[in-house]
């Protein structure tokens, strides 16, 4: 499968970037104070330290090497995150969480699979933080693996309403959408 090969190769040298986005996410997590959280598309676990005040945290990624790295991070940094291999565009993971969070995940799901991914997210949570590049930006180097989706339409079609939206400065080129049911 071409997609799995691409992400398996990327996983070997995935870098921790965009500290600004982690600060923004931390602010929103402080506001929400979730009792439970699932991170969809966790990669190697870069965001896990942000979840230290969340009692129950699960993280999923569909790439085996990303899952392995995320589990290693939990072990070496003594982080309490239940890491699972799962493809959100195939099915909803077992469980229900107060908050589902994505960062640079949904933008990598092709248009033919995004509606099913959002449908699966809608099954497992009451609110979401969706932090993605959005309609007005495609990074040139990742063009073949980045897709622009209308998150407001996708999530409102699944019973959510937009509670808050934060547009990052132009140099960050991301939008955070806080949806609630």
Q: Which CATH class is domain 2-10+35-180?
A: alpha beta
111: nearest Cα among 147, 62, 135: 147
pLDDT tens series, the chain, 181 aa:
555 555 455 544 555 555 577 889 999 999 999 999 999 999 999 999 999 999 999 999 999 999 999 999 999 999 999 999 999 999 999 999 999 999 989 988 989 999 999 999 999 999 999 999 765 555 555 556 778 889 999 999 999 999 999 988 766 678 999 999 9
Distance CA 69, CA 33 (A): 27
* Residues paired with residue 125 on neighbouring β-strands, in sequence order: 97
Domain ranges of the chain: 2-10+35-180
């Amino acid at each position: 499968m071409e997609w799995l090969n691409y992400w398996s190769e990327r996983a070997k040298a995935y870098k921790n970037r965009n500290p600004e986005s982690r600060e923004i996410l931390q602010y929103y997590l402080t506001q929400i104070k979730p009792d439970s959280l699932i991170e969809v598309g966790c990669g190697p676990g870069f965001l896990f330290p942000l979840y230290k005040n969340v009692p129950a945290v699960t993280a999923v990624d569909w790439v085996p090497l990303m899952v392995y790295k995320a589990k290693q991070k939990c072990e070496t940094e003594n982080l309490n995150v239940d890491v699972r291999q799962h493809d959100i565009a195939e099915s909803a993971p077992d469980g229900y969480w107060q908050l589902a969070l994505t960062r640079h995940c949904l933008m990598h799901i092709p248009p033919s699979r995004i509606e099913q991914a959002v449908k699966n997210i809608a099954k497992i949570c009451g609110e979401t933080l969706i932090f993605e590049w959005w309609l007005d930006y495609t990074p040139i180097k990742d063009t073949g693996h980045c897709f622009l989706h209308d998150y407001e339409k996708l999530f409102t079609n699944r019973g959510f309403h937009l509670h808050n939206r934060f547009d990052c400065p132009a140099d960050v080129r991301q939008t955070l959408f806080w949806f609630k049911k």
